[in-house]
Amino acid sequence: MSLVVDNLRVYYRTLRGDVRALDGATFTVADGEIMGVAGESGCGKTTLGKSLIRLDGRMRVAEGSVTLDGVELPIADDRAMDAYRFRSVSIVPQYAMSALNPIRRIGRMISELLSSRGVSYEETLPELRRRLALVGLSDDVLERYPIELSGGMKQRVVMVLSTLMNPSLLVADELTSALDVSTQKAVAEMLVEFRDRGFVKSTIVITHDLSILYQVADTILVMYAGKLVEKGSAAEITEDPRHPYTKLLIASLPEVGVRFEERRLTGIAGRPPSLLRPPTGCRFRARCPLATEECAVEPPFVELAAGRHAACWKVAA
Amino acid sequence: MLRVDDVTKVYRTGLFGSGSQTAVSGVSFDVRPGEVVSLIGESGSGKTTVGRMILRLTTATAGTISFDGEDVAGYNRRDLRRYYARVQGVFQDPFSSYNPVFKVDRVLGMLRSTYLPRLSDQEWKRTLRSSLEAVSLEPADVLGKYPHQLSGGQLQRLMVARALLLEIELLVADEIISMLDASTRIDVLNLLGDLKGRGLGILFITHDLSLGNYISDRTLILRHGRVVELGPTPKVFGDPRHSYTRALLACVPQLHRKWGDDSAVEANGRPSATADATGGLVAVDDDHFVAPEEDAP
Amino acid sequence: MESRADLVATPEIALTGEGAALEDAYPEPPVRRFEALHFAARNAKLVVGLTVVLAFLVAAIAGPWLTDATPFEFGYPLGEPPSSAHWLGTTSPGQDVYSQFVYGLRSSFIVGALAAAVAGLLGMAIGFLGGYLGGVIDEILSMVTNIVLVIPTLAVLIIVSAYLSVGSLWSEALLIGLTSWPWAARAIRAQTFSLASRDFVSLARLSGQGTIKVIVKEIAPNMSSYLFLTFILLFGGAVLIAATLDFLGLGPSQVMSLGLMLNNAVSNAALQLGMWWWFIPPGVGITAIVGGLYIMNVGLDEVFNPKLRRT
């Protein structure tokens, strides 16, 4: 098992108390697996991604453990995580391509980043060049400033940089959201290629776009209001969703070919609950058409079949 | 109703406008009453600029935009007021559309002072109520609240309700649902579909092909400021004639079809349009137009 | 109105984030005000700066009530150090230093406030209009701003004061105000520029609101903290410039000011004669007020801008 997450609870400290952004995540990601994490705003997916690498000082790990390749990651300790960041665990955060320092040439930025990690730029340069060529970027990208590159090019640079040390785990947060459809495809396919070439072992792709996950992910984990609600292979989740939330979510996505006059899609009424004082029981209860008395008790995230999990009383085991 | 005729927009850049950048070039189309036209393009296609020109938030460099036969470029302050009573817009970011220091009621009240000053308080409340009902919002849920207390979906629907206060004929919706969650998007989209049924014309600007396909009657594909394909939605999506349209459709990630499965969308054997003398759009079918293929991408 | 913001390629495909969940946790404006005060009370710079300035303000207002002497009145013992009769001693020609000081403080605050008001209003008018309207009008206004900015203010003021013989605090404040507005105008223009491309401004235009209304009702309220900071900076700057002018003898001679005190002290060789009670109070006064205002400003910036906070 490459990555094992056990009952991870990560809260944000605020003036008014703890926001329970991630409340009990347990799952595994195997070597060579690309797992997609899907959900809407406030579901906790970004928190999950950031907590695996401890990127946000406001986070407080309340409980749980993360084990990578048999070694437990010190996710509660900023300093200790330093040794793992970029080498074992790497993240491409949201807005990464907009965060490139505009007054640094790409090559200079990379060399500064590498030296801050104790890696020699000169030694890594041949491999860096090879990978840039692999994703269709020429060497002179290193001489350019970020403003001279298109969104897709920047995203590719960021991806090459994040995987330069062949990390065991790559977390990609909303990698494709700000891109044009054609670039989205190229970047998503690049994720798969990196996995195929062994540049990364396991990948976690965080996005709100289920259809991208269907294209590139092996498994999909669906989250809602800080909890895991369903997990399975990409095909299973999209073709045979079991959890009511997943079902409703998929039913609300317009596909090319579906027209309003022919088949009117419906959304999910209501809003996700506040995570400051979350409701007891199933968090989807207020919006779920199948909710009954038993949903006042929180359903556990149980295994229905091999690799297939759901957290709902209504789902037959 | 709305006619956009060979419109071009060039921005001056640099010191005293020595440089220039063309955002929109020679775009023509029209929107008929009770019709939804989707304007589809990626970033840099000029689609937002077209929307802004129609709303007179910026002026065209060349070409005419006319509403019911009147050229909107020549409008003065008073004419603009009249115009805005019939044409309104809703924008992409609900949290940017509302002035964060004020309550949301203000966006509704702003219209009242300009357009409905003679309404009594009772009548105003009634008008508000019916507009909110038309967008499925409970007055108690949204009135008196600050923008951050409401969800993106509610804010966008409130924006539409604001536009409906005026009995408009044309709504320019610029990426209005791209910042909403998937589960609420469809509700706002259905709302637009219902309004279409009531006779409202809608210009639906988006980058998302599946959304455009869902509610629009006619589709316009824009690329680098130029129209690439234009026609009834089923035809543009079902029988795309321009290579760009085909490439776009092939790249859209779909839930039950992998990329590369789409043999139907790729070369369908029909010939692309060849350039004609005027260099404009070529009619390939009834009401279906395509730009000639360019040699260089 | 052409929006140059349209030229910037914005990611038109947007993201849904988890900020919403965090902000759902506590409702803003009532808490925001509370939050601002919370941080304000804890910000050392703000508290210290404000205290100093307020202390001198109180002295300026109430100080004169505590004495019967007036600044220009002669007849007191010559060059006496502080005593119970004259808390800050007397000047060489026999005037009461304490009354000079507190009346001088009054002048400083009055000139500072008036000049800041003039410069502020002018800067706002030019900055708002240029930033909002853009195009040719902006280019003209920017040109004017840059020209006035480049003119060496102090030199001009010196020349003008020498010719026009500034007679009152009002005219001094007016002069200072008319020459210190450019940088405020530029700062406001830049902020307005970025706000003007926001959707709620477009929406206001779609509601039929005219230029002035949009600026006053939509743009200014969103810059209120910025305008406040600008005003404070202008205030501090004006006090300093006024003190300089007065020190050079170019301010109103019939009104006592701190700069004038320093001028008199220097011309009477107070430094060499060791008459510290004459030149230290006005120097300390000017430094403390201006310094206090600037420090307040830095502190306020931290309060208003969450990213600068160290918590």
pLDDT in tens, B189-237: 888 888 888 888 999 999 888 888 888 899 999 988 889 889 999 888 8
- pTM more than 0.80: no
> Which amino acid belongs to residue C106?
R
Cα nearest neighbour of A98 on chain C: C11
Q: Do C12 and B178 touch (CB under 8 A)?
A: yes
Cα–Cα separations (whole angstroms), residue A126 to A120, A155, B294, C70: 12, 20, 38, 83
Across B78-82, average pLDDT: 87
Q: How confident is the model at residue B14 (pLDDT cuts 50, 70, 90)?
A: low
- Which residues from C are below 8 Å from B84, CB to CB? 206-208
Strands A308-310 and A302-305: antiparallel
Q: Residue A164 pLDDT > 70, yes or no?
A: yes
Chain mean pLDDT for chain A: 86
- Say if residues A317 and A309 touch (Cβ distance below 8 Å): no
- Which residues from C are below 8 Å from B48, CB to CB? 6, 12
Rounded to whole angstroms, the Cα distance separating A254 from A251 reads 8
222-241 of B, contacting C, C-beta below 8 A: none
Strands A89-92 and A308-310: unpaired
Q: What is the CA radius of gyration of chain B?
A: 20
Residue of C16, C21, C26 with shortest CB distance to A208: C16
Q: What is the pLDDT of residue B273?
A: 53
Q: For residue C139, give how far its alpha carbon lies from the nearest alpha carbon of chain B (Å).
A: 8
- Say if residues C78 and C101 touch (Cβ distance below 8 Å): no
Which residues are within 8 A (CB) of C58 and not within 5 positions of it... i.e. 6 or more apart? Answer: none
Q: Do B43 and C11 touch (CB under 8 A)?
A: yes
Give pLDDT tens digits for A92-105.
877 777 778 888 88
Residue of C4, C207, C218 with shortest CB distance to B111: C207
Rounded to whole angstroms, the Cα distance separating B209 from A55 reads 35
Q: Is any Cβ of chain C less than 8 angstroms from the Cβ of B55?
A: yes
Q: How confident is the model at residue A204 (pLDDT cuts 50, 70, 90)?
A: very high
CA C121 to chain centroid: 12
Give pLDDT tens digits for B82-101.
899 899 999 988 888 888 77
Q: Is any Cβ of chain C less than 8 angstroms from the Cβ of B16?
A: yes
Rounded to whole angstroms, the Cα distance separating A196 from A194 reads 5
Chains that touch C (3 or more CB pairs under 8 A): A, B
Identify the residue whose tokens are 């690309």. A34
Chains that touch A (3 or more CB pairs under 8 A): B, C
- Say if residues C125 and C101 touch (Cβ distance below 8 Å): no
Q: For residue B285, give how far its alpha carbon lies from the nearest alpha carbon of chain C (Å).
A: 32
Please tell me which of A60-64, B16-20, B148-152, B293-297 the model is most confident about, judged by mean pLDDT. Answer: A60-64
Across B130-135, average pLDDT: 86
> Which amino acid belongs to residue C51?
T
CA B187 to chain centroid: 17
Supply the ipTM of this predicted assembly: 0.80
SS3 content of chain A, % helix, strand, coil (to 5): 35, 25, 45
Coil vs helix vs strand at C2: coil
Q: For residue A43, give how far its alpha carbon lies from the nearest alpha carbon of chain B (Å).
A: 11
- Say if residues A171 and A53 touch (Cβ distance below 8 Å): yes
Residue of C13, C20, C26 with shortest CB distance to A14: C26
Residue of B181, B237, B247 with shortest CB distance to A41: B181
Strands B2-13 and B87-90: unpaired
Considering only A249-263, B95-109, C135-149, which range has the smallest mean pLDDT?
A249-263
Coil vs helix vs strand at A180: coil
Give the residue with greater pLDDT, A316 vs B32. B32
Suggest the residue from A177, A180, A185, A206 to mutate for an interface test with chain C (most C CBs closer than 10 A).
Answer: A177
Strands A219-224 and A34-38: parallel
Q: Residue A119 pLDDT > 80, yes or no?
A: yes
Q: Is any Cβ of chain A less than 8 angstroms from the Cβ of B95?
A: no
Q: Residue A52 pLDDT > 50, yes or no?
A: yes
Chain mean pLDDT for chain B: 83
Phi, psi of C200 (to 5 degrees): -70, -20
Q: What is the pLDDT of residue C32?
A: 52
Which of B169, B132, B190, B210 minimizes the C-alpha distance to B35?
B169
SS3 content of chain C, % helix, strand, coil (to 5): 75, 0, 25
Q: What is the pLDDT of residue C36?
A: 65
Q: Do C24 and A42 touch (CB under 8 A)?
A: yes
Cα–Cα separations (whole angstroms), residue B227 to A62, A186, A221, B203, C282: 55, 25, 40, 15, 72
Which residue(s) pair with C235 in the sheet? none
Considering only A68-82, A113-127, A208-222, A255-269, which range has the smallest mean pLDDT?
A255-269
- Which residues from A are below 8 Å from B182, CB to CB? 40, 208, 210, 249, 252-253, 267
> Which amino acid belongs to residue A310?
A
Across B178-186, average pLDDT: 81
Rounded to whole angstroms, the Cα distance separating C233 from C225 reads 13
Q: Looking at C126-255, which runs of residues are DSSP E strands?
A: none
Give pLDDT tens digits for A272-286.
888 888 888 888 888
Coil vs helix vs strand at C42: helix
Q: Residue B277 pLDDT > 60, yes or no?
A: no
Considering only B38-42, B152-156, C119-123, which range has the smallest mean pLDDT?
B152-156
Rounded to whole angstroms, the Cα distance separating A97 from A109 reads 13
- Say if residues A217 and A228 touch (Cβ distance below 8 Å): no
Q: What is the pLDDT of residue C29?
A: 40
Please tell me which of A212-216, B10-14, B73-77, B98-102 the model is most confident about, judged by mean pLDDT. Answer: A212-216
Residue of B42, B189, B253 with shortest CB distance to A212: B253
Termini Cα distance of chain C:
42
Across A34-57, average pLDDT: 86
Q: Is any Cβ of chain A less than 8 angstroms from the Cβ of B297?
A: no
Coil vs helix vs strand at A29: strand
Chains that touch B (3 or more CB pairs under 8 A): A, C
Coil vs helix vs strand at B243: helix
Q: Do C16 and A41 touch (CB under 8 A)?
A: yes
- Number of B to C CB contacts under 8 A, please give it: 103
- Number of A to C CB contacts under 8 A, please give it: 64
Tokens of A276: 């400051």
Across B260-287, average pLDDT: 57
Q: For residue C184, give how far its alpha carbon lies from the nearest alpha carbon of chain A (Å).
A: 27
Considering only A182-186, A214-218, A223-227, C101-105, which range has the smallest mean pLDDT?
A182-186
Q: What is the pLDDT of residue C110?
A: 92
> Which amino acid belongs to residue A6?
D
Tens of pLDDT along chain C (311 residues) come to 333 333 332 222 223 333 333 333 333 344 455 566 777 777 888 889 889 999 999 988 888 888 877 888 888 888 888 888 788 888 888 888 888 898 889 988 999 999 999 999 999 999 999 999 888 888 899 999 999 888 887 788 778 777 876 678 888 888 889 888 998 999 999 999 888 888 888 888 888 888 888 888 888 888 888 898 899 999 999 999 999 888 888 888 788 888 888 888 888 888 888 888 888 888 999 999 999 998 988 888 877 776 666 54
Q: Do B146 and C28 touch (CB under 8 A)?
A: yes
Q: What is the pLDDT of residue C304?
A: 75
